[in-house]
Amino acid sequence: LWSTLGTMFTEVLVAIVIGGVIYFLVQKRRSQVLKTKDGWWGVGAPPDGEEDISVRPFKISTSDEELEDLYRRIDQTRPVASLEDSQFHYGFNSQCLQKVVSYWRNDFDWRKQVDKLNQYPHFKTNIEGIDVHYMHIKPQRVPQGSAVIPLIMVHGWPGSFYEFFGIIPLLTEPSDPGDCVFEVVCPSIPGYGFSEAPHKKGFDTVCAARIFIKLMKRLGFQHFYAQGGDWGWQVTTNMAQLEPKMVTGLHLNFASVTMGGLIVTLSIMFGRHFPKPFGFTDLDIQRLYPFMDKLVVESIKESGYMHIQATKPDTAGRGLNDSPVGLAAYILEKFSTATNFDFRNLEDGGLTRKFSLDDLLTNIMIYWTSGCIVSSMRFYKENVGHGLAPPHTKIPVVVPTGFACFPNEVMHMPKLWVQQKYHNLVSYTLMARGGHFAAMEEPQLLAEDIHKFVRTVEKKTKTQ
């Protein structure tokens, strides 16, 4: 009995301390806002005169010359044997890579995929000196009495706008009468895919957020929802920090927090033994402890690419820009491990358990044909290479936020941790399955959670 009472007293005390600290921090941060200045990322100095705000249709294309060059480079690759019994623990297994490359060279139909990519309308417009590519998909049918809700969806690395192809029809043409109907904008982050790369140093997620806000304004939207994972999480978060009155709601399937925060530190120290005061679930305990093994050691194992890209992206990137096989190995290894850490134990990396080779190679071809691998890697240099805690990391997000917690995400975020940054957390959903590339891996689950979140926010907005 005394032991039970002692445990209860401890949990109550910890909860009171946490609540007091949270209240203090919220009050302290409430007045903080993220500010930014216009930039110019084109070549040389900005020209005199008015900015070109025209929107131009864009179509993805290919040619015999492009494919012949690709095949020649694939044919000249020099295979390297993997170690015995190494699976994906040393990186992309060489035997598996040869099978992927053989399919790419002999069976993959890039022209067919180009036609697929062009099934949605593509556009380009010049913002701050660079051409920004985006897809803009409007619903074909809108049920009577339904309002069309604008939604911008932002990808990450090593993904692209193609990550959203499977989820777009679930948002623009929902089958459930109670679901929302969305008008979806999917841009390519500058330096990715068919968006022009910045020509100057310093282009980080805040700059991308500012450009995408300008894009949405240019398209005539005064209010919209935003969704993102990976770098898309940070870009859309910055959008909500820059324009909280424009961003009606923010939906995320990835997030990160400052590990040095007091609440996070306390939860790490005591959460395993006193989970209730911190709201920790069984999944939280399973994914976080033992802490050194689950978060620290695993992070070191799987973040080598980030150290390279945050320091000397141009060096490694140059080799990937010349070798399609090297590019595929570098990118596809992430689609294995980041989908499920257990896939490292498989000879084929589990690649086709969640994705088709056609989809994976289409994403690779977007990087290859646009020649964007170096500029996409530089995004890490601009965001991580100058310190882990830029000013925007200390500013809370006050817009309504929904978080989809996928069980195999590379970095697990308990609800308490998410709330430290997102003070108006409307929904936090423990998803049934899925990992880092949620929109591509589990489009149905992600779409359902977006619908649920937006319905909740819309209902609250109407009753206020």
CA dihedral defined by 44, 47, 51, 57, rounded to 10 degrees? Answer: -50
Q: What is the CA radius of gyration of the chain?
A: 23
Beta-bridged to residue 250, according to DSSP, are 226, 401
Is the preceding peptide bond at 198 cis, omega within 30 degrees of 0? Answer: no
In the structure encoding, which two tokens stand for residue 353, read together? 């358990």
Taking phi first (over 0 means left), then psi (-120 to 50 degrees means alpha), and beta for anything else, what does residue 103 get? alpha
Asked if residues 438 and 406 have their Cβ atoms less than 8 Å apart, the reply is yes
Question: Which residue spans within 72-117 are E strands per DSSP?
Answer: none
Task: Name residue, tokens 């203090």.
Answer: 24
Which residues carry out catalysis? 230, 380, 436
CA dihedral defined by 415, 420, 425, 428, rounded to 10 degrees? Answer: -10
Q: How far apart, in whole angstroms, are the C-alpha atoms of residue 344 and residue 88? A: 4
CA dihedral defined by 321, 327, 331, 337, rounded to 10 degrees? Answer: -140
Torsion sign across C-alpha atoms 195, 196, 202, 206: negative
Burial 272-294 (b: 16+ CB within 10 A, else e): bebbebbbbeeebeebbbeeeeb
Q: How far apart, in whole angstroms, are the C-alpha atoms of residue 2 and residue 11? A: 14
- CA-to-CA dists, residue 406 to 321, 352, 417, 442, angstroms: 32, 19, 15, 10
Q: How far apart, in whole angstroms, are the C-alpha atoms of residue 427 and residue 411? A: 19
Helices (H), 107-151: 110-117
Burial 350-366 (b: 16+ CB within 10 A, else e): bbeebbebebbbbbbbb
Asked if residues 150 and 225 have their Cβ atoms less than 8 Å apart, the reply is yes
From 416, 431, 424, select the one nearest 14 (Cα to Cα): 416
Q: How far apart, in whole angstroms, are the C-alpha atoms of residue 43 and residue 202? A: 14
